[in-house]
Amino acid sequence: MLSWCDPHAFSSGTEGLKFSCSVAKRSSLSTALQSFLSISAELKQVAARSTNLLVDKTQSSTQQNGSTREGGIRACKNLGRSDAIEVSMNQNPQKLPMGGVRDDRYIPYKLAPDLEGGQKVLDMLCGAGFDARAAPTFDWIHDTFLVIIRMFPRCVPIPTTLVSMNGRYDPHFHVKLGAALRPLRYENTLIIGSGGSVHNLYRNHWEHMFRFNDNFAQPVPPDPWALQFRQAVEDSITCNTGPALRRALSRLMKHPRYRDAHGTDDHWMASLFVAGAAGGVDDTGPNTMMGECWELVNMCNTQCQLGSWD
């Protein structure tokens, strides 16, 4: 599943960035905007936060609407600037703070890191020639746990393994990364890519967020560049299968509106990861757009399912 998460959708994970609407409450809007601009450099440094998640559907029983289902989760993540990939192996990870969201919306949810699944992912990646490393102290950013909360809101904690992307943002590298973990799809594992179809923090409209804590306000329509790239994403996913899907999503980085839609590359890498995992010669789809939301006027969060549950 290709997805994006900022209550919901998979927003930019910024561990060192603790900036919330309380800033705007304590000061004028202009001061809040100046504060936001002053941390733009920090945003660039910590914006590499798209996350790939692998969901093991067999390792735990989940309760939903009174019925029992089999379910579980795994995930992976890479933060370095080398060619390395990191896999979270923190047995007791913390949830990093999320500005503008009430604590009761995410703090009570229990995390369930899957260390056995993480070791399997490490072995698979190393076997495929990747420089894969364990990350024993990695704490979870909201790009990871919000996805799970939204997908499994009334379930027991889902066993999850987090896998990083690579900080060089090479599209072909991330396609190969997804392809290396593709066999897990046949082992009762759900692969999730946490990214965004249109995600450029520098071109969003922040006024309603700062003044009213409303990220979904749409006082004006999205700009044409955002609508154009969003449509290109949908067409690339729904009109291609197999290796053609991998090529189509890789080519979008050369789209004339790509740099408008993605001021940094971090939120696009997840789409390439899932294309690698669901773009083999045997993958015939269907690839379906399942849902979408816009926030901050120009940020689009699109949820797609690659393949079928049947």
Identify the weakest region by mean pLDDT among 74-83, 171-180, 222-231, 300-309: 74-83
Domains, the chain: 30-61+74-308 (3.40.830.10)
Structure tokens at 150: 């939204």
pTM above 0.95, yes or no: no
Q: Please give the mean pLDDT across all residues of the chain.
A: 78
- Looking at residues 266-295, what average pLDDT do you find? 96
3-state secondary structure at position 287: strand
* pLDDT tens-digit map of 24-49: 233 333 443 443 344 344 434 433 33
> Quick one: pLDDT band at residue 187, thresholds 50, 70, 90?
very high
- Top-confidence residue, 58 or 126: 126
* Residue 216 CA to its chain's centroid (Å): 19
pLDDT in the model for residue 159: 92
Residues near 34 by beta carbon (within 8 Å), at least 6 away in sequence: none
State which amino acid sits at residue 126: C
Contact of 204 with 297, CB cutoff 8 Å: yes
Q: Is the dihedral of CA 69, 187, 274, 158 positive or negative?
A: positive
Identify the weakest region by mean pLDDT among 65-69, 168-172, 227-231, 252-256: 65-69
Q: Find tokens 């989760």 and name the residue.
A: 73
| Burial group, residue 81, by CB count within 10 angstroms (0-12, 13-18, 19+) | exposed
Residues near 176 by beta carbon (within 8 Å), at least 6 away in sequence: 128, 276
pLDDT in the model for residue 4: 25
DSSP 185: G
State which amino acid sits at residue 18: K
pLDDT in the model for residue 308: 87
Contact of 53 with 12, CB cutoff 8 Å: no
Please give the full DSSP string across 39-80, using - where no structure is assigned.
THHHHHHH----EEEEEESSSEEEEETTEEEEE--EEE----
Return d(Cα 303, Cα 290) in angstroms, integer.
6
* pLDDT tens-digit map of 70-116: 344 444 333 445 789 999 999 999 999 888 888 888 888 889 999 99
Percent of all residues in the chain with a pLDDT value above 70, rounded to a whole number: 74
pLDDT in the model for residue 54: 52
Closest of 285, 286, 290, 4 to residue 144, by C-alpha:
4
pLDDT in the model for residue 22: 27
- Top-confidence residue, 171 or 45: 171
Return d(Cα 135, Cα 88) in angstroms, integer.
5
What dihedral do alpha carbons 216, 77, 277, 98 form, nearest 10°? -10
pLDDT in the model for residue 84: 93
Range among 14-23, 153-162, 211-220 rated most confident: 211-220
Q: Is 290 left (phi over 0), alpha (psi -120 to 50) or beta?
A: alpha
200: pLDDT strictly greater than 70? yes
